[in-house]
Chains A and B, each alone.
Chain A
Amino acid sequence: MNQPYLKSLKFRSLVCFIFLSMVFIIHSCKKEKPSNKTPIVTDSQMVNLARQWYDAKYPGVNNGKLTTQSTEKSTQDWSKAFSPYWAEANTFVIDSLTFIELPALKKGDMAMSLRSGIDPKSFNFSKSGSLTSLIIVNKNGMFYLYAMTILADSTYLKGDYTRVKHNTYRNREADFTGEVFYNRMDGSLVNGWKYTNGLITGAISPAAAGSNPGQVTQSIDKKHVDVFQETDCSTTTTTTYWESCDYYVDDEFYENPFNCSYYTTSSSVTTCTTITSGGGSSAPSPCTMPTGGTTNPSNVSVENTKTIIDVAQPPPGGGSTCGIIDQTNKIGTAGACQTITNNITDPCLKAQVNAAISDGLDSYTSNVANFVFKNNTDFDLTFSQSTTLANNEDGATNCQGDPASQNLFEADVSLNANTMPKASQEFIAATVIHEILHAYMTFSGKLGEFNQHTDMANNYIFTMQKDLKAMFPAMTDEDAEALSWGGLGDTQAWADLLKNNPTLANSIVNINNQYKNATGTKGHRCS
């Protein structure tokens, strides 16, 4: 019997099999080719996988069969309130983990606020300064979903409520002031960061049970690299305002809400800030979470848990970023490997290096050291002492690597072991600051000693002066400025100063000599 249908089926099966076999073979061959980024899974494949995982994990969020889709008035299931806008997925890799950042499609609206007591019906969501996105993290093939809420301060927004959108998981604007919260889909807070002018000034964690809003605790006199630190933690209440609406099932982007209701949820969070004896209030170690809570101040530590940060825009050229630190899923917790090494054996030199790069110091160079080098395993900064430097060379910096294309960079700072131990602590510190700036400028792509010295003379004298004063608060502005000019004698700016104001230039030279020479009368010497 003639069975054309059967023939057709066999033929189609065969074609299908051959086609898939070819795909399989091509796919297998492709895997052998090394590539620059993620060799096996492309960004779009990763997004597709994440989408498959999401659809399986949160079924029915997008594809109900009712004539309308209704949002449950649940206070603790954020997955019902948000869904990922897959078309605008942004994929990137940090520390071998793949991150997918997606705008959140909201069924209604949601905004976090530090202000409570507002009637949620009258809350103005469009002027909240709050923006929530979704972050999917792939770790070893497993996916984890978080909500990232950026809450911008009015001093940053200056009435422009669209500015909050300029900030993403990886990049904060250089002057961003506000908070960033990371929540799980059950609404629980994972962690967060407080920012002031693009720099992290506080680590946010869930408040310990029993702590009250407004409660302030301190961990005092914690000695850390020869500088006394004080960690202040305060508990505040964050209010989340919700607008919950129904939508027609074909309203894919939730554009036509109806039947809306309004309510609030709140959570207590603890924000910890470290104050160092050398300067004013500043951040705890960047990307460092306090391990304690407000209930046990003695356990508040800024040393134990560290993560690697993305330094796409190190300060001050752009804001620094710190991300999710989820101890449960071990995400963002792999940064225990710190990459600043102090190999100096002379105790006086060693102490000044430690002080200059101290975590909590309110100084530009300390921030550079910590943001760029300490918290990124691929960028190393090593300090050592050298007996081969000429007597007029206080320090030297050797750099190698390629941060742009190979994500590798090493800077070796050597201090002159013959001359520097006799100098004052202030002079040693000024030299360390100068060399760290060399390392950072090279890292940033500004090459050549003359170029860097010119940049320092034109743009960094005040910064170096401020950094020295952060380490030595009793030092006069005049002395701090004079030490900041150290090593910049080859610049046009110095030549101009000599020509236009020789008295000041001579004074700067004299002050430097007073701080540097063993018999000098200025500054503090170790012996």
Chain B
Amino acid sequence: MRQVQRAIDVHNKIVKLLLFIGLLMVFNSASAQIDDFEFQRSFVKIFKYPDSLRNRCIPTYTNILIEVSAKGAVQNISVSDSAPKDFKNSFNKIRKSIDLRLLDSIITSKKLNNKIIIPVFYLFTPENCNNAVASPGELADSYYVFNGQKLEGSSFCLKPIIIVMYKTLH
């Protein structure tokens, strides 16, 4: 009987422990709500789509690559080679102003230590331009290439930036 009682005690302890872990998970998840668009929102606010592209109806299909060290620190940020030259120039002008700290919560919570990818689309509304891609083959070849280096290994994808551009109004 003593063995039975001990077994019941062990059983109860296990159940309590598991319940505690379950509750901990739920509470932890509540307190760890993360805005997974905060960084993108911040980027859009400081990045101005070049007039040279806008005026010529040139859309942009690209990716932002954020390289994260093994310790979780952001080491580099770049756009893929599919971005038009003027887009890259504009990006590089604001590169130092991009608030990388906004990625900290994502990096910490997801324990990221490799790469983050954010797809970026700057598109025109239909009444404005037709979003034609001059060379789909070139886009396919360069979409995941960063400064000539093909993206390799695992990476974490964040919510894309999709900006539609309306026709100028007078």
Which A residues have a C-beta under 8 Å from some C-beta of B? 3, 5-6, 9-10, 12-13, 16-17, 20, 23-24, 27, 31-32, 34, 36, 38-41, 45-46, 48-49, 96, 98, 138, 140-141, 378, 380, 393-402, 405-408, 410, 435, 438, 442, 447-449, 452, 487
Determine whether the beta carbon of A438 is less than 8 Å from that of B169: yes
Contact (A141, B27) CB under 8 Å given A9-B8, A40-B32: yes
Residue B167 lies at the interface, judged by CB distance under 8 Å to chain A: yes
Determine whether the beta carbon of B163 is less than 8 Å from that of A408: yes
Contact (A13, B14) CB under 8 Å given A5-B4, A408-B44: yes
Q: How far is the CB of A446 from chain B (nearest CB, A)?
A: 11
Query: Complex formed: what's the CA distance from A32 to B21 in Å?
Result: 20
Determine whether the beta carbon of B34 is less than 8 Å from that of A40: yes
What residues of chain A lie closer than 8 Å to B41, measured between beta carbons? 378, 408
Q: Would you list which residues of chain B between 58 and 103 have a CB under 8 Å from chain A?
A: none
Determine whether the beta carbon of A400 is less than 8 Å from that of B22: no
Determine whether the beta carbon of B110 is less than 8 Å from that of A32: yes
Residue B53 lies at the interface, judged by CB distance under 8 Å to chain A: no
Query: Complex formed: what's the CA distance from A27 to B21 in Å?
Result: 13
Query: Complex formed: what's the CA distance from A408 to B35 in Å?
Result: 14
Determine whether the beta carbon of A399 is less than 8 Å from that of B166: yes
* Contact pick for B11, options A13, A24, A32, A396, CB 8 Å: A13
Determine whether the beta carbon of A141 is less than 8 Å from that of B7: no
Determine whether the beta carbon of A398 is less than 8 Å from that of B166: yes
Q: How far is the CB of A153 from chain B (nearest CB, A)?
A: 38
Determine whether the beta carbon of A40 is less than 8 Å from that of B29: yes
Pairs of residues from A and B, 3 with the lowest C-beta to C-beta distance, nearest first: A141-B31, A438-B169, A399-B166
* Contact pick for B30, options A10, A39, A141, A448, CB 8 Å: A141
14 contacts between A and B (CB under 8 A): A5-B4, A6-B3, A13-B11, A13-B15, A16-B14, A17-B14, A34-B158, A40-B32, A45-B26, A49-B26, A397-B169, A398-B169, A401-B163, A410-B45
Query: Complex formed: what's the CA distance from A401 to B124 in Å?
Result: 10
Residue B147 lies at the interface, judged by CB distance under 8 Å to chain A: no
What residues of chain A lie closer than 8 Å to B157, measured between beta carbons? 34
Q: Would you list which residues of chain B between 115 and 140 have a CB under 8 Å from chain A?
A: 125, 127
Determine whether the beta carbon of B166 is less than 8 Å from that of A447: yes
Query: Complex formed: what's the CA distance from A407 to B125 in Å?
Result: 17
Residue tally, chain B, CB below 8 Å to A = 44
Contact (A442, B166) CB under 8 Å given A13-B10, A34-B158: yes
- Which of chain B's residues has its CB closest to A487's CB? B170
Determine whether the beta carbon of A41 is less than 8 Å from that of B29: yes
What residues of chain A lie closer than 8 Å to B35, measured between beta carbons? 96
Determine whether the beta carbon of A34 is less than 8 Å from that of B36: yes
Q: How far is the CB of A404 from chain B (nearest CB, A)?
A: 10
Interface string of B143-170 (1 = CB under 8 A from A): 0000000000000011101111111111
- Which of chain B's residues has its CB closest to A12's CB? B11
- Which of chain B's residues has its CB closest to A1's CB? B3
Determine whether the beta carbon of B44 is less than 8 Å from that of A401: yes
Determine whether the beta carbon of B36 is less than 8 Å from that of A39: yes
Determine whether the beta carbon of A3 is less than 8 Å from that of B4: yes
The binding surface of chain A is classed by DSSP as mixed
Determine whether the beta carbon of A140 is less than 8 Å from that of B31: yes
Query: Complex formed: what's the CA distance from A364 to B49 in Å?
Result: 30
What residues of chain A lie closer than 8 Å to B158, measured between beta carbons? 34
Most buried by A among B31, B125, B158, B170: B170
Determine whether the beta carbon of A406 is less than 8 Å from that of B25: no
What residues of chain B lie closer than 8 Å to A40, measured between beta carbons? 29, 32-34
Determine whether the beta carbon of A20 is less than 8 Å from that of B164: no
Determine whether the beta carbon of A449 is less than 8 Å from that of B164: no
What residues of chain B lie closer than 8 Å to A398, measured between beta carbons? 54, 165-166, 168-169
Q: How far is the CB of B110 from chain A (nearest CB, A)?
A: 7
Query: Complex formed: what's the CA distance from A5 to B6 in Å?
Result: 12
Query: Complex formed: what's the CA distance from A399 to B8 in Å?
Result: 68
Determine whether the beta carbon of B22 is less than 8 Å from that of A20: yes
Query: Complex formed: what's the CA distance from A360 to B67 in Å?
Result: 48
Query: Complex formed: what's the CA distance from A116 to B27 in Å?
Result: 45
Determine whether the beta carbon of A38 is less than 8 Å from that of B33: yes
Determine whether the beta carbon of B30 is less than 8 Å from that of A49: yes
Known: A45-B30, A48-B26, A438-B169. 10 other contacts (CB 8 A): A13-B11, A13-B14, A398-B165, A400-B164, A406-B161, A407-B37, A408-B41, A442-B169, A447-B125, A448-B127
Determine whether the beta carbon of B168 is less than 8 Å from that of A396: yes
Contact (A16, B15) CB under 8 Å given A399-B166, A402-B164: yes
Determine whether the beta carbon of A9 is less than 8 Å from that of B7: yes
What residues of chain B lie closer than 8 Å to A17, measured between beta carbons? 14, 18
Determine whether the beta carbon of A449 is less than 8 Å from that of B30: no
Query: Complex formed: what's the CA distance from A449 to B108 in Å?
Result: 46
Q: How far is the CB of B116 from chain A (nearest CB, A)?
A: 11
